[in-house]
Amino acid sequence: MSLDDKVVLITGGTGSFGRKFVEVALSSYKPRKIIVFSRDEFKQHEMAVTGFDKECMRYFLGDVRDKDRLYRALDGVGVVVHAAALKQIPACEYNPIEAVKTNVMGAANLIDAAIERNVEKVIALSTDKANAPVNLYGATKLCADKLFVAGNSYSGVHKTRFSVVRYGNVLGSRGSVIPVFKKMASSGSLPITDPRMTRFWITREQGVKFVMKCLDRMEGGEIFVPKLPSMSIMDMARAVAPGVPTRVVGIRPGEKLHEVLVARDEARVTVELDDGFVILSGFDRAMIERYLKRNGGKLCAEEFCYASDTNDWWLTETDLNGLIESDTAEKR
């Protein structure tokens, strides 16, 4: 959908995704208002003084744990992008109740407030780790995804519609393995959890543009998954720090060997499009058939699984270095 003349609010708006979303929205559209909703006043100040000070920009201090504050912030808002979350796996494991309060209860608060304020569209960011989760972060995001899909059922007479975007590792985001590898290269070796490990990769700009495309497509209840390239951890290490030896340290608690973005159990309700997949988890067979007629695409085979180790699109070392250079240039 066009964001021209729209009032858009992004939770967690000072994060790496939020900043890129605002940047693309300002350069590609003419929104009436963009509201950055987050709890860190210093990050909001930093954002405002580094080019995000257009007339349409608003900075709103608040926490998704506070429903009353969300209710106030959503006054007159038409579109919400939900990017606020606690996502560092070790921190979530050590502080589980905090992760639940932000990632689960925060999602529930946003759903209730959006319905009451008659927001038109809400799209939430998810993660591959929500698929068959093995850590608390993934479990909280799975729960949040279920809440957003179910939100379409209890919005009642209200017009609010909810959808989810699920993708893999974001190049250049906080906590990404790439800056960690670059920093550790000077120590003489790189720690590899398991040489068999593979991951999906997406850049911040690709993620933002996919979310914007999904805002246009969404009818409510979908989980959107982009088609992404995979890369092995060993190829990544060679690309980021060529010639630096590696050492195997073992897989960490809460970590998977490979990522799965569409599981086999989801395939029977998943539609494949040219640029991605749409999981219609809350739809019955008749609704899926109607969705196919309206939007095209094809239903995935029942045994289909979209995993990083069986993907047919792979990044080379040259490809990754090109993406890193592009991402670095964007940050300047």
Q: List the catalytic residues.
A: 129
Q: Contact 113/82 with Cβ under 8 angstroms? A: no
Alpha helices per DSSP H over the chain: 16-28, 41-48, 67-73, 89-94, 96-99, 106-116, 136-151, 177-184, 204-217, 233-240, 264-267, 285-295, 317-331
Q: Cβ contacts of residue 225 below 8 Å, gap of 6+?
A: 165, 166, 167, 261, 262, 276, 277, 278, 279, 306
DSSP per-residue string spanning 309-325: SS-S-B--HHHHHHHHH
Give phi and psi for 95, each to the nearest 5: -125, 60
- Angle (deg, nearest 10), helices 136-151 and 106-116: 20
Look at the block and give the residue holding tokens 């240039």.
Answer: 329
Give phi and psi for 225, each to the nearest 5: -130, 120
DSSP letter assigned to residue 290: H
